[in-house]
């Protein structure tokens, strides 16, 4: 059946409240295109240096609004920097009941744009259908831009808002605040939103590229947030969302949370009736935050059958007692409990197969709670935020029967109390520990010792002068990092890399990838008889006879070098620190020594550390029965130097840094220790934009030419994104 043109005109004109529908009718035929141009007014707003008519601003494949334009009939061009007459805006708006506003903005916040849009909203006639296309090259959107439209939403029909971002910007840019004032909001080329405020439950959001919402706000307790976000098919993270309330303050019913990997629920209060919260759509990580003044939260009816990690975000300065009643976490493997004590019975009843625990250890009560853990933990992470615990019970008899079962223990050592716990609990009853990681903050530890009213002997420490002596038994894998030194290392390297580059070019010294590393960094046959282990192995590889070559499996150091109480003793003419252009450690921030690590019986099978810890820590090997170290693993965090703009600079600096680390005089810090295997890992963060796969291949090739076997490893974070690149290599 063929409908008369009059009826088709009515059908077409009644669907023009939608921008997409208007564009679709324009493509049907020239007849309908002319009909649309008579009915729809288009306002073009330029905010910055680009016109909305440029193809790269609003791409035709996203929204081809240009088919709606007729210069002499339905178009008004406005520049936010020019004072358009209110009369021209008013006259234009009186001619149309359907308005499409196309905005091209190249700015972050723009007062002129906000003023222009407010004037348009004020002069729209009652009942006008409004569609807005907002294109931004900065991925910025302020709620203030559409404030006047929100004030007049009862008089206007706010149909569609199209937000078009720039895919060229970093995915970390989250500068968009979105209010769902319009019946339908479309988002293109934007991954992250800073905030999303849902105004009405019958409105809809279509954003298939959206992955992160930092703040999700809504006021209607009847809102089905799961259905509202149903068209955000790639949503991974909601970083802030308040606990959903029950309608009419009744606890009956079930609230279904949206699909995502990571969710943060906050503002939990006692005395408030919450529905059963169905979080089965959350697949990885849940973070829950009680209200700030709530001391002992009791969570109930939380059903999260797919999460693997739970974080309790409580006040870290207070020990909270937390309950989980009638909750289900059948796949929960990791808990970060802050300073909280969780009922072990509640966790057992929730069916949580717990394997990892992280806690801010600030009290003896928490320590007792840990000893009662019914789980065989694989990973235990001990941190602290209260570093001034000075008055503690140092009766060692209280700690004799304390046994904490965990295979891998990470311990933040930053106070005298933590040192006491490390020695008397973890290193005394250590039979279950296979890997121990000590994160040493010697600055805080030194201050804690000075502030303590009692001396080390009164506190029951074995001491070496003014230093705490920590006895390290045999552990399969020991890791030691010095947090302050790591920060200094990264900062000093970044700030001086550009100066080094300038100095090298001033001296007309062209970096030679094929040069002898030992000669390049000050090693000479006139030195010694003791030389660096890396140079020793280099000489063995290119040695003159088979006897020398066979010796490359073991590095031997002179017995006459013993440990020293001053960390600066490791500085020497053969040290990588001898060149002032790369001052890896800033001695000005280092105080007197606070701790000595004494190895007993035998060295660990694997000793992992960083150059900062190796340079600043003190070691004692006097009581070692077996002085062989099977594996020494050095980890270095490579930060992007300032003033580096091309790939050649990157590969040169990285190769030079690797060479320095290999030639570090390990024999001065580990005297009389036989090192069988040296393994070095460079961590290169993904924000190091110049360091791409091609640069990796170049560095790998250069190292192989210099007799190094290189293996490149990309490590992933829990979102599946590349978090950093590791160059793991071993001397041939």
Whether 650 has a pLDDT exceeding 80, the answer reads: no
Q: Which residue has the higher pLDDT, 2 or 622?
A: 622
pLDDT > 70 in the chain, percent: 70
Burial label, 174 (beta-carbon count in 10 A; 0-12, 13-18, 19+): buried
* pLDDT value, residue 7: 46
Q: Which residue has the higher pLDDT, 72 or 348?
A: 348
Whether 285 has a pLDDT exceeding 80, the answer reads: yes
* pLDDT value, residue 388: 60
Measure the CA–CA gap between 79 and 48, rounded to whole angstroms: 8
Whether 503 has a pLDDT exceeding 50, the answer reads: no
Banded model confidence at residue 302, pLDDT cuts 50, 70, 90: very high
Beta strand residue intervals within 434-498, DSSP E = 435-440, 463-464, 467-472, 477-482
Of 28-42, 184-198, 351-365, the least confident: 28-42
Each residue's pLDDT tens digit, 316-327 = 777 889 999 999
Measure the CA–CA gap between 649 and 168, rounded to whole angstroms: 25
Residue 125 carries which DSSP code?
Answer: P
Hey, which of 270-274, 278-282, 535-539, 589-593 has the most confident mean pLDDT? Answer: 278-282
* pLDDT value, residue 464: 63
Measure the CA–CA gap between 499 and 503, rounded to whole angstroms: 6
Helix 30-39 with 5-13: angle, nearest 10 deg: 50
For strands 237-242 and 260-268, give the pairing. parallel
Query: Can you state the percent helix, strand and coil of the chain, rounding each to 5?
Result: 30, 30, 45
Average pLDDT of span 112-118 = 92
Beta strand residue intervals within 1-90, DSSP E = 40-47, 75-79
**14 three-class SS:** coil
The 10 Å CB-count burial string (b at 16+, else e) for 64-102 is ebeebbeeeebbbebebeeebeeeebeebbeebbbbbbb
Query: How many other C-beta atoms can be found within 10 angstroms of the C-beta atom of residue 356?
Result: 19
**175 three-class SS:** strand
Of 195-204, 315-324, 559-568, 692-701, the least confident: 559-568
* pLDDT value, residue 350: 95
* pLDDT value, residue 729: 52
Q: CB under 8 Å to 400, separation ≥6 — which residues? A: 428
Whether 118 has a pLDDT exceeding 90, the answer reads: yes
pLDDT > 90 in the chain, percent: 33
Whether 694 has a pLDDT exceeding 50, the answer reads: yes
Whether 397 has a pLDDT exceeding 80, the answer reads: no
pTM of the model: 0.76
Each residue's pLDDT tens digit, 404-458 = 889 999 999 988 888 888 988 888 877 788 999 999 988 888 888 888 877 788 7
Tokens 């394997």 belong to residue: 355
Average pLDDT of span 102-106 = 91
Helix 483-506 with 647-662: angle, nearest 10 deg: 120
Whether 26 has a pLDDT exceeding 90, the answer reads: no
* pLDDT value, residue 65: 77
Query: How many angstroms from the chain centroid is the CA of residue 561?
Result: 42
Banded model confidence at residue 68, pLDDT cuts 50, 70, 90: confident
* pLDDT value, residue 685: 62
Helix (H) or strand (E) holding 382: strand 377-383
* pLDDT value, residue 120: 93
Each residue's pLDDT tens digit, 581-626 = 333 333 333 345 778 899 988 899 999 998 888 887 889 898 888 8
Average pLDDT of span 167-189 = 82
Count CA atoms within 13 Å of residue 199 on its CB side.
14
Of 263-267, 546-550, 728-732, the least confident: 546-550
Q: Which residue has the higher pLDDT, 686 or 563?
A: 686
* pLDDT value, residue 704: 74
For strands 678-685 and 722-731, give the pairing. antiparallel
* pLDDT value, residue 57: 72
* pLDDT value, residue 113: 92
- Annotate 80-99 with DSSP letters as a single string: TTS---HHHHHHHHHT-SEE
Measure the CA–CA gap between 383 and 412, rounded to whole angstroms: 5
Every domain of the chain and the residues it spans: 1-231, 488-731
Each residue's pLDDT tens digit, 506-543 = 333 222 222 332 233 222 222 233 333 333 333 443 34
Query: How many other C-beta atoms can be found within 10 angstroms of the C-beta atom of residue 663?
Result: 23
Of 108-117, 326-335, 404-413, 639-648, the least confident: 639-648
Measure the CA–CA gap between 226 and 233, rounded to whole angstroms: 11
Q: What is the largest CA-CA distance in the chain?
A: 106
Asked whether 352 and 327 are in contact (CB, 8 A), the reply is: no
* Tokens standing for residue 451: 């502030």
Whether 671 has a pLDDT exceeding 60, the answer reads: yes
Whether 5 has a pLDDT exceeding 60, the answer reads: no
Burial label, 154 (beta-carbon count in 10 A; 0-12, 13-18, 19+): exposed
Banded model confidence at residue 256, pLDDT cuts 50, 70, 90: very high
Mean pLDDT of the chain: 75
Backbone angles phi, psi at 482, to 5 degrees: -110, 110
Measure the CA–CA gap between 709 and 729, rounded to whole angstroms: 6
């Amino acid at each position: 059946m063929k409908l008369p043109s009059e009826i088709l005109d009515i059908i077409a004109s009644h669907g023009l409240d939608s921008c997409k529908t208007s564009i679709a009718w324009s493509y049907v035929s020239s007849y309908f295109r002319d009909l649309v141009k008579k009915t729809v007014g288009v306002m073009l707003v330029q905010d910055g240096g680009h016109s909305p008519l440029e193809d790269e601003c609003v791409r035709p494949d996203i929204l081809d609004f240009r088919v709606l334009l007729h210069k002499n009939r339905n178009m008004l061009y406005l520049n936010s920097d020019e004072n358009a007459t209110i009369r021209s805006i008013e006259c234009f708006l009186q001619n149309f009941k359907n308005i499409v506003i196309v905005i091209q903005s190249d700015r972050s916040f723009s007062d002129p744009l906000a003023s222009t849009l407010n004037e348009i909203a004020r002069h729209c006639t009652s009942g006008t259908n409004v569609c807005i296309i907002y294109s931004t090259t900065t991925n910025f959107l302020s709620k203030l831009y559409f404030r006047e439209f929100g004030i007049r939403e009862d008089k206007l029909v706010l149909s569609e808002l199209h937000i078009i971002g720039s895919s060229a910007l970093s995915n970390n840019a989250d500068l968009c605040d979105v209010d769902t004032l319009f019946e339908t909001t479309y988002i293109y080329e934007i991954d992250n939103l800073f905030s999303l405020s849902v105004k009405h439950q019958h409105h809809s959001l279509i954003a298939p590229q959206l992955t992160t919402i930092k703040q999700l706000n809504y006021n209607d307790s009847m809102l089905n947030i799961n259905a509202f976000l149903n068209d955000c098919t790639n949503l991974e993270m909601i970083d802030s969302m308040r606990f959903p309330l029950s309608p009419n303050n009744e606890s009956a019913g079930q609230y279904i949370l949206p699909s995502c990997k990571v969710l943060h629920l906050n503002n939990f209060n006692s005395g408030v009736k919450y529905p059963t919260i169905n979080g089965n759509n959350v697949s990885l990580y849940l973070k829950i935050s009680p209200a700030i003044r709530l001391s002992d939260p009791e969570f109930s009816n939380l059903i999260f059958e797919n999460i693997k990690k739970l974080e309790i975000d409580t006040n870290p300065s207070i020990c909270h007692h937390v309950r989980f009643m009638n909750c289900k976490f059948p796949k929960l493997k990791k808990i970060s409990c802050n300073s909280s004590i969780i009922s072990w019975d509640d966790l057992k009843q929730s069916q949580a197969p717990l394997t990892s625990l992280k806690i801010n250890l600030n009290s003896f009560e928490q320590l007792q709670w840990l000893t009662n853990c019914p789980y065989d933990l694989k990973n235990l992470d001990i941190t602290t935020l209260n570093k001034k615990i000075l008055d503690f019970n140092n009766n060692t008899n209280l700690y004799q029967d304390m046994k904490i079962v965990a295979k891998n223990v990470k311990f933040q050592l930053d106070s005298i109390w933590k040192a006491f716990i490390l020695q008397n609990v973890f290193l005394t009853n250590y039979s279950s520990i296979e890997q121990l990681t000590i994160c040493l903050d010697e600055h805080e530890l030194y201050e804690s010792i000075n502030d303590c009213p009692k001396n080390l002997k009164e506190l029951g420490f074995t001491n070496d002068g003014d230093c705490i002596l920590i006895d390290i038994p045999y552990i399969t894998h020991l890791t030691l990092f010095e947090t302050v030194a790591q920060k200094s290392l990264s900062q000093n390297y970044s700030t001086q890399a550009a100066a080094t580059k300038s100095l090298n070019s001033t001296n007309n010294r062209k970096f030679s990838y094929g040069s002898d590393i030992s000669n390049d960094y000050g090693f000479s046959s006139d030195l010694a008889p003791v030389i660096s282990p890396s140079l020793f192995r280099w000489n063995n590889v290119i040695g003159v006879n088979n006897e020398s070559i066979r010796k490359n499996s073991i590095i031997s150091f002179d017995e006459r070098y013993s440990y020293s109480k001053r960390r600066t003793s490791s500085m020497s003419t053969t040290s990588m620190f001898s060149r002032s252009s790369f001052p890896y450690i800033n001695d000005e921030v280092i105080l007197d020594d606070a701790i000595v690590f004494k190895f007993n019986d035998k060295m660990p099978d694997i000793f992992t550390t960083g150059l900062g810890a190796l340079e600043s820590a003190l070691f004692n090997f006097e009581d070692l029965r077996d002085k062989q170290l099977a594996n020494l693993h050095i980890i270095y965090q490579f930060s992007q130097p300032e003033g580096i703009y091309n790939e050649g600079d990157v590969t040169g600096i990285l190769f030079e840094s690797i060479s320095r680390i290999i030639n570090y005089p390990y024999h001065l810090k580990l005297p009389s220790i036989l090192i069988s295997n040296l393994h070095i890992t460079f961590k290169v963060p993904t924000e190091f934009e110049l360091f791409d796969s091609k640069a990796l291949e170049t560095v790998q090739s250069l190292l192989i030419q210099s007799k190094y076997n290189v293996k490149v490893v990309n490590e992933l974070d829990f979102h599946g994104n590349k978090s950093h690149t590791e160059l793991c290599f071993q001397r041939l």
